[in-house]
Amino acid sequence: MEDYNPHLKAAFLETLENQLADNDPPETKETLDRLIAEGISEDDSKLLIAQAICVEVFDIMKHQKEFNLDRYLKNLKRLPDEPEE
């Protein structure tokens, strides 16, 4: 059994879907397309991107900071490697 909170996973995936629908930031869609072109399934690609979203959400909650777009974009470029915190 995986050790994760399904509600948080759903929330991060919903945030991802919103970014894709709004094309904001456009790098999210570009990253999804790149990962799929690299042979990663769409579902797994979305989970990888959701990890980068997770880093930002936890930083916002922990440090009461604004969303760090620069770090988010850097983490998207790093994928499929783990996002940096």
Question: pLDDT tens, 36-85?
Answer: 999 999 999 999 999 999 999 988 999 998 889 999 999 999 999 998 87
Q: Which tops the pLDDT comparison, 83 or 31?
A: 31
CA dihedral (29, 47, 80, 15) positive or negative: positive
Report whether 78 contacts 46 (CB < 8 A): no
Question: For residue 1, is pLDDT > 50?
Answer: no
CB atoms near residue 69 (< 10 Å): 11
Q: What's the pTM?
A: 0.89
Asked if 56 and 72 count as a contact pair (C-beta separation under 8 A), the reply is: yes
User: 66 Cβ partners below 8 Å, 6+ apart?
Assistant: 60
Residue 67 contacts residue 73 (beta carbons within 8 Å): no
